[in-house]
Amino acid sequence: MLRRMHPKRTIRAMGLALVTLLTAGGMVAGRPGDAEAVVPTIFGLPAETPLRVHNGDLTIRTPGTVIENLDIRGFVRVEASNVTIRRSIVRGRDPQRTNQALVAAYGDHRNFRIEDTTLKPSSPSPYVDGIKGRNFSARRVDISKVVDSVVIFGDNVDFGYSWLHDNLHYSPWPQQWDNQTHDDNVQIEGGRNISVHNSRLDGAHNAAVMITQNYARGVNIQINDNIISGGQCGINVDEKGRGPIGLSIKNNRFGKTGIPDCGILAPKTSVGDWTMNSWVATGNSVRVRNPRKKK
């Protein structure tokens, strides 16, 4: 239903990661004295939601549009402000060897919101990612079977209470220097005021969270209150020679990673606050590893 609202760098693969971490409850307990990170257990399109099929791509150019209760069998492109997508599923289509995102929000829009929605391609491909763009918020989104679940390049992203999982990894893949895809749950290419929080991130081969400055300097990036597993290292930070990244990594719970004891790989010039991160298996604190030192 459509209606109007009125006013890499990458870590070299070093073995397969055990990437799935599921907990039974909706509250993740921390160590004594730590805050508890609230992570939901229900994500995506609610069960038994009545849907109407939309065949083909959907480009949204009218400000204030609300898309709800749709089964979208194509790619979505947001080109207007104050757009909302909710209670829907986005399946995409065959990308035909062109890079695509199930939902793309690249432009000068503001206040795009997506909630209670599932993103899962009907034609899985190394050319298909999940959400890509800037100036958006997400709540209770379920994204799977893509290469990069979320790609952020630009300002003002609030991504929370969601599940990113079961990323696709392709090898050989000649478009990368090491002949394999660099699949991440979240890839941040730079920008200001970016928050990834209260979410489950698992199933990526390269990193659960990959933070670079390929697009722009990173300022006020917060990775807090998540359950993180998989990747060679859970969180991988690369300043790309552009100076320190304004970064906070707090109160996350880490499962197994491909490289043992590599929850956070980051220059300490960038990680300003990394308190209360712990390993689920032991409760021990997660140390920040310096990429310039031997792993």
Phi-psi region of 203 (alpha: psi -120 to 50; beta: other; left: phi over 0): left
How far apart CA 175 and CA 134 sit, in angstroms, is: 25
Tokens of 5: 């609202």
What confidence score (pLDDT) does residue 25 get? 31
Mean pLDDT, range 161-176, rounded to an integer = 88
Q: Give yes or no for a cis peptide into 172 (omega within 30° of 0).
A: yes
Residues 6+ apart with CB under 8 A from 73: 53, 54, 55, 56, 91, 92, 93, 122
Q: Please state, for a pLDDT cut of 90, what percent of the chain lies above it.
A: 77
What confidence score (pLDDT) does residue 23 get? 32
Number of C-alpha atoms within 13 angstroms, CB side, residue 102? 33
Please, are residues 200 and 226 in contact by the beta-carbon 8 Å criterion? yes
pTM reported for the whole predicted model: 0.86
Give residue-wise pLDDT tens across range 124-138. 999 999 999 999 999
Strand 227-228 versus strand 200-201 pairing type: parallel
Residues 6+ apart with CB under 8 A from 48: none
What is the C-alpha R_g of the chain?
18
CA distances from 60 to 101, 121, 134 (A): 15, 20, 15
Mean pLDDT, range 226-230, rounded to an integer = 97
Q: Quick one: pLDDT band at residue 246, thresholds 50, 70, 90?
A: very high
Would you call 66 helix, strand, or coil by DSSP?
strand
Q: Is the pLDDT of residue 17 over 50?
A: no
Sheet holding 128-133, edge to edge: 58-60, 76-78, 100-105, 128-133, 150-152, 184-188, 207-211, 233-237, 264-265, 288-289
For the chain, give the mean pLDDT.
Answer: 87
Q: Quick one: pLDDT band at residue 165, thresholds 50, 70, 90?
A: very high
Mean pLDDT, range 128-153, rounded to an integer = 98
Q: Is the pLDDT of residue 35 over 80?
A: no
How far apart CA 83 and CA 105 sit, in angstroms, is: 10
Tokens of 10: 């990458």
Q: Which residues pair with 4 in a beta bridge?
A: 65
Q: Is the pLDDT of residue 32 over 70?
A: no
Whose tokens are 């432009």? That residue is 107
Question: Is the model more confident about 293 or about 185?
Answer: 185
Strand 76-78 versus strand 118-119 pairing type: unpaired
**Which has the minimum average pLDDT: 46-60, 64-78, 232-246, 268-282?**
268-282
Please, are residues 123 and 103 in contact by the beta-carbon 8 Å criterion? no
What confidence score (pLDDT) does residue 180 get? 75
What confidence score (pLDDT) does residue 293 get? 57
Tokens of 244: 């320190």
Please, are residues 242 and 267 in contact by the beta-carbon 8 Å criterion? no
Mean pLDDT, range 222-231, rounded to an integer = 97
Please, are residues 220 and 198 in contact by the beta-carbon 8 Å criterion? no
| End-to-end alpha carbon distance in the chain | 52
What confidence score (pLDDT) does residue 179 get? 67
**Which has the minimum average pLDDT: 67-71, 106-110, 228-232?**
106-110
Work out whether the CA dihedral 196, 201, 203, 205 comes out positive or negative: positive
Work out whether the CA dihedral 259, 276, 113, 162 comes out positive or negative: positive
What confidence score (pLDDT) does residue 3 get? 42
Q: Quick one: pLDDT band at residue 209, thresholds 50, 70, 90?
A: very high
Tokens of 171: 């090898």
Query: Letter for the amino acid at 145?
Result: K
